Chain A
Amino acid sequence: MEEFERRVTECIPRLRRYARVLTGNSTAADDLVQDTLERAWSRLRLWRPGSDLRAWLFTIMHNVHVNGVRRRRAEQTGEPLDIAIGGTQEQRLELRDVTRALAQLPPEYREVLLLVAVEEMPYAQAAAVLDVPLGTVMSRLSRARAQLLSLTNGDTTPGLRRVK
């Protein structure tokens, strides 16, 4: 049990990052993490030891978030993601552009990018977390990347400029 607790604690930074990408706002994100952790504990018995804890916690977070959003019937997009950016001036500009662009994507696109591109989850696992078919993960991913590219088109990176 202490083992479980230790492993959950290890996942907290990743949960906070996922929550930040979902909500865009650090307070709302930590509220979401707290709700997720509470839910995880109350469902402890549903967790199968040996299965992927990160995927399980992410699934819970996704559900808590979706239910909350459905209840509020309001969805904020386009607000800047509350993320501090480091690095050199040039890197900062580039990263700022990509986080800005990310914030303008619909939440389901942000989510799939976080899971697949950032967390490097296999497609099937991302599909399980989001409770959508595999094909939906792929189509969202390809649309998400296309939008992100078109939003960062003004970027100075040659790699991005060449692409329509």
Chain B
Amino acid sequence: MNPLSNEEQLHAYVDDALAPAERAQVEMRLRADPDAAHRVEAYRRLNLLLRAALDPLLEEPVPERLQHLPTLRARRTSWLRPAAFAASLLLAGAAGWFLRGAADSRPAFGDALAVQAAAAYRVYTPEVLHPVEVGAQQEEHLVSWLSKRLGAPLRAPYLGDAGYRLVGGRLLPAEERAAAQFMYEDVRGRRLTLYVAGSPEQARETSFRYAEQNGVSTFYWIEGGLGYALSGELAREELLKVAEAVYRDIAMRPQKPRSQ
């Protein structure tokens, strides 16, 4: 970091963010500079006022809906014990939880996403000669091309730890928009696809949902304005592990540029 300006030093002094030596330096300056000393006083006073104004909020009773977190428990079960996943989905569904706000467009978009992803999986994974449009050896080009076409920064998650390597990807139609498909395979040649499409503005973010069609399992979710669907001919628990790896990879390395 750049050295602090005089003014920044005063703030850092007030917020107790200075090393002892710098602290002593500022204190010396304050004795010689009444204007700076007044500012320091004013900043301190603001801190006190803000705390006095906002601390009472901590005493407010927590509303019912945040207190009991029943929803959180249902979700937690699903995450921590994959074996209980089906059961918890049922439970959560019964509680209206995964479908909270069933009137909004989320289920419709999510369901369509799962169907399209599974269809694209079935069409392209059996391909021997042309499974992808752009291969993994041109990963950077692939990702920037698809990002451009979807109008959103994408990434091809690294799934090496789950035993899958990137084969490549292609551009696909999704409703009126573009979608991307990344294909992966393991050492035995078993393939998975990650299908990504822009979500409608009003679609809410969701946690994992699961669908199975004709032997193709799909986990799908909506996050950060994009719908993701991971499809494969795998048991649910096995696919869930990979889905979590995808999720983690995307969540841990946000694409957005650091804002100033």
Contact = CB atoms under 8 A, between A and B. Distances in A.
A99 to B, nearest CB: 5
B94 to A, nearest CB: 18
B47 A46 contact: no
Given A138-B8, A141-B11, A98 B76 contact: no
How many chain B residues sit at the interface, stated as a range, is 35 or more
B38 A86 contact: no
Given A9-B69, A118-B47, A162-B38, 19 more contacts: A16-B62, A30-B63, A43-B251, A45-B248, A63-B254, A71-B201, A71-B225, A87-B52, A102-B53, A117-B47, A118-B51, A131-B256, A132-B258, A136-B260, A141-B11, A142-B7, A145-B11, A160-B42, A162-B42
Interface residues of A, number: 63
B53 A83 contact: yes
9 contacts: A17-B54, A41-B75, A67-B224, A71-B225, A83-B53, A85-B53, A118-B54, A131-B258, A163-B38
Contact of B248 (A37, A46, A94, A131): A46
SS class, residues of chain A in contact with chain B: helix
SS class, residues of chain B in contact with chain A: helix
Contacts of A142: 7-8, 11
B71 interface: yes
A30 B65 contact: yes
Contacts of A120: 15
A114 interface: yes
A123 interface: yes
A123 to B, nearest CB: 5
B79 interface: yes
Contacts of B207: 38, 42
A11 to B, nearest CB: 11
Contacts of B205: 35, 39
A123 B8 CA distance: 12
B12 interface: yes
A95 B1 contact: no
A34 B71 CA distance: 10
A50 interface: no
B259 interface: yes
Contacts of A162: 38, 42
Given A16-B57, A113-B50, A117-B51, A145 B12 contact: no
A157 B38 CA distance: 13
A4 to B, nearest CB: 9
A122 B39 contact: no
